[in-house]
Amino acid sequence: MIAREQDTVASFLLRTVDPDRYRQSVVSAQSHAPLCMMGVCFECLVEIDGQKNQQGCLVRVRSGMRIKRQIPEG
Amino acid sequence: MTPVSEPDLLIIGGGAAGLSAAATADGLGLTVELLDERSALGGNLYAGVGKRADDDRAFGPDQVRGRALLAGAAGATRSSSTFAWRIERDGRTFVADGAGGVRSIAPRRLLIATGAMERPVPIPGAMLPGVMYAGAAQLLLKSAASVPAGRCVLVGSGPLLLLVATQLLAFGVRPAGIVETKPRTSLQAFLSHLPSALNAPGLLARGIRLLGKLKASGVPFHRGAIRASIAGRDRVERVEFTDAEGRRQSIEAELVLLHDGIIPNDHVTRQLGCRERWNEAQHCFQPETDPWGETSLPGVFAAGDCTGIGGGRAAELAGTLAALEIARQLGRIAEGERDRQAERPRRALRRQHSFRPFLEMQFPPSIALAGDAASDTVLCRCEDVTAGEIRLAVAQGATGPDQLKSFTRCGMGPCQGRSCSMAVAEIIAKETGSTVEAIGRHEIRSPLKPLPLGQIATAEAEVVR
Ligand SMILES: Cc1cc2nc3c(=O)[nH]c(=O)nc-3n(C[C@H](O)[C@H](O)[C@H](O)COP(=O)(O)OP(=O)(O)OC[C@H]3O[C@@H](n4cnc5c(N)ncnc54)[C@H](O)[C@@H]3O)c2cc1C
Ligand code: FES
Mean of per-residue pLDDT scores for chain B = 91
Ligand at minimal distance from the CA of B137 is 1
A8: which chain B residues are within 8 Å (Cβ-Cβ)? 39, 143-144
pLDDT higher than threshold 80 for residue B53: no
For residue B64, give Cα distances in angstroms to B54, B84, B134, B159.
10, 29, 23, 22
* Top-tier CATH class for B378-439: mainly alpha
Domain ranges of chain A: 9-68
Measured in whole angstroms, the distance separating CA B383 from the mean position of its chain's CA atoms is 22
Q: Is A35 in Cβ contact with B149 (below 8 Å)?
A: no
pLDDT at B55: 60
pLDDT at B222: 96
pLDDT higher than threshold 50 for residue B1: no
pLDDT higher than threshold 70 for residue B283: yes
Strand ranges (DSSP E) for B128-270?
Answer: 131-133, 152-157, 177-180, 221-222, 226-231, 238-242, 248-252, 255-260, 262-264
Question: Looking at the partner chain, which of B53, B140, B381 has a beta carbon nearest the beta carbon of A11?
Answer: B140
Measured in whole angstroms, the distance separating CA B202 from the mean position of its chain's CA atoms is 23
DSSP string, A1-64: --PPTT-BHHHHHHHHS-GGGSEE-TTT--EE----SSSSS---EEEETTEEEEETTTSB--TT
Residue nearest to atom 35 of ligand 1 (CA): B13
B131: which chain A residues are within 8 Å (Cβ-Cβ)? 33, 35
> What average pLDDT does this structure show over B451-455?
66
Q: Is A15 in Cβ contact with B146 (below 8 Å)?
A: yes
Q: Which of A28, A38, A43, A46 is the best mutation test for B, with the most CBs of B within 10 A?
A: A38
Ligand at minimal distance from the CA of A37 is 2
Q: Is B136 in Cβ contact with A35 (below 8 Å)?
A: yes
pLDDT higher than threshold 80 for residue B242: yes
pLDDT band at B253 (very low <50, low <70, confident <90, very high): very high
pLDDT at B73: 96
Q: What tens digit of pLDDT does each residue of A6-20 get?
A: 899 999 999 998 888
pLDDT higher than threshold 90 for residue A28: no
In sequence order, what are the residues at sequence separation of 6 or more whose Cβ sits closer than 8 angstroms to the Cβ of residue B297?
B89, B272, B273, B274
Q: Do domains B4-117+263-333 and B120-257 have the same CATH topology?
A: yes
Chain B: closest CA distance from residue A73 (Å): 18
CB atoms within 10 A of CB B395: 10
**Element containing residue B139 per DSSP (H, E):** helix B134-144
For residue B7, give Cα distances in angstroms to B27, B104, B329.
15, 11, 14
pLDDT at B455: 66
Q: What tens digit of pLDDT does each residue of B317-328 get?
A: 999 999 999 999
pLDDT higher than threshold 80 for residue B197: no
CB atoms within 10 A of CB B262: 22
> What average pLDDT does this structure show over B245-259?
97
Position in ligand 2 atom list of the atom nearest CA A41: 2
pLDDT at A61: 94
SS3 of B133, please?
A: strand
B145: which chain A residues are within 8 Å (Cβ-Cβ)? 4
Q: What tens digit of pLDDT does each residue of B167-179 get?
A: 999 999 999 999 9
- Please answer whether residues B62 and B157 qualify as being in contact, where contact means their C-beta atoms are separated by less than 8 angstroms: no
CATH of domain B4-117+263-333: 3.50.50.60
Position in ligand 1 atom list of the atom nearest CA B448: 41
pLDDT higher than threshold 60 for residue B437: yes
Nearest of B48, B7, B11, B5 to residue B320 by alpha carbon: B11
> ipTM for the complex?
0.95
Report CA(B243)–ligand 1 centroid distance (Å): 33
Q: Is A19 in Cβ contact with B418 (below 8 Å)?
A: no
Q: What angle do CA B90, B91, B92 make, to 5 degrees?
A: 100
B40: which chain A residues are within 8 Å (Cβ-Cβ)? 6, 60
Report CA(B194)–ligand 2 centroid distance (Å): 37
User: Alpha-carbon Rg of chain A, whole angstroms?
Assistant: 11
User: Alpha-carbon Rg of chain B, whole angstroms?
Assistant: 22
In sequence order, what are the residues at sequence separation of 6 or more whose Cβ sits closer than 8 angstroms to the Cβ of residue A19?
A31, A33, B129, B130, B235
A52: which chain B residues are within 8 Å (Cβ-Cβ)? 452
pLDDT at A12: 94
Regarding predicted confidence, which is higher, B51 or B246?
B246
Domain ranges of chain B: 4-117+263-333, 120-257, 378-439
Q: Does B73 contact ligand 1 (Cβ within 6 A)?
A: no
Q: Does B47 contact ligand 1 (Cβ within 6 A)?
A: no
In sequence order, what are the residues at sequence separation of 6 or more whose Cβ sits closer than 8 angstroms to the Cβ of residue A25?
A31, A32, B384
Q: What tens digit of pLDDT does each residue of B341-397 get?
A: 999 999 999 999 988 998 999 999 999 999 999 999 999 999 999 999 999 999 999
Q: Is B132 in Cβ contact with A33 (below 8 Å)?
A: yes
Question: Looking at the partner chain, which of B83, B133, B383 has a beta carbon nearest the beta carbon of A36?
Answer: B133
Q: Is A28 in Cβ contact with B235 (below 8 Å)?
A: no
Q: What tens digit of pLDDT does each residue of B99-120 get?
A: 778 899 999 999 999 999 999 9
Mark B26-60 as b/e (b = at least 16 C-beta within 10 Å).
bbbebbbbbbbbbbbbbbbbbbbbbbeeebeebbe
Measured CA to CA, the distance from residue B120 to residue B123 in angstroms comes to: 10
Q: Is A14 in Cβ contact with B140 (below 8 Å)?
A: yes
pLDDT band at B185 (very low <50, low <70, confident <90, very high): confident
pLDDT higher than threshold 90 for residue B152: yes
Ligand at minimal distance from the CA of B93 is 1
Q: Is A39 in Cβ contact with B37 (below 8 Å)?
A: yes
pLDDT at B69: 95
- Please answer whether residues B37 and B81 qualify as being in contact, where contact means their C-beta atoms are separated by less than 8 angstroms: yes
* Percent of chain B with pLDDT strictly greater than 90: 73
Q: What tens digit of pLDDT does each residue of B61-112 get?
A: 888 899 999 999 999 999 999 999 999 999 999 999 877 788 999 999 999 9
Measured CA to CA, the distance from residue B169 to residue B212 in angstroms comes to: 13
pLDDT higher than threshold 70 for residue A29: yes
pLDDT higher than threshold 80 for residue B453: no
- Please answer whether residues A15 and A21 qualify as being in contact, where contact means their C-beta atoms are separated by less than 8 angstroms: no
Is the Cβ of A63 closer than 8 Å to some Cβ of chain B?
A: no
Q: What is the DSSP letter of B305?
A: G
- Please answer whether residues A11 and A1 qualify as being in contact, where contact means their C-beta atoms are separated by less than 8 angstroms: no
* Top-tier CATH class for B120-257: alpha beta
pLDDT higher than threshold 70 for residue B266: yes
Q: Does B444 contact ligand 1 (Cβ within 6 A)?
A: no
pLDDT band at A36 (very low <50, low <70, confident <90, very high): very high
